[in-house]
Amino acid sequence: MRRVLIPLATLSMLLLGGCATDQRKDALTDTLNAYAGVVRWSDYNGAATFVDPKVREAHPVSPLEMSRYQQYKVSGYDEGKGPTHHGEFEVSQDVQINLVNVNTQSERVITDHQTWHYDVEGKHWWLVSGLPDISRQ
């Protein structure tokens, strides 16, 4: 009986570990899709809710910075090859964002270098790189 229990226990542990990985992967997909959605709608206040609360506290977006974001509408959001995994709890991706200045109607393209971290306790992916830097030319 003991010979059966040890392999069965080992198999159970591996399956449970796989479930956690699948949940993290599903949560990542859901989070990246939701973030892309709010950015595509130029909802910068909504996008800020995806930023890690610790990062928001350390580097709050000032009203002036938020007003700069409001000057731009997103006309394109391309994830390219998608996220690159750096271990179990961190991914990065480079996203090409097309921005149209609402005052001049000129369009420009920026690359947003995103870094996402998984909070194990909260079971949530957080953007730790902050909102896209729209000040770059």
Per-domain residue ranges of the chain: 2-127
pLDDT at 15 over 90: no
In which element (H, E) is residue 87 found? Answer: none
The domain defined by 2-127 carries CATH number 3.10.450.100 = yes
132 neighbors 97 (Cβ within 8 angstroms): yes
CA–CA distance, 134 with 32 (Å, rounded to integer): 19
**pTM (two decimals):** 0.82
pLDDT at 16 over 50: no
Mean per-residue pLDDT for 11-35? 75
30-73, pLDDT tens digit by residue? 999 999 999 999 999 999 999 999 999 999 999 999 999 999 99
pLDDT of residue 22: 84
116 neighbors 92 (Cβ within 8 angstroms): yes
70-112, pLDDT tens digit by residue? 999 999 999 999 999 999 999 999 999 999 999 999 999 999 9
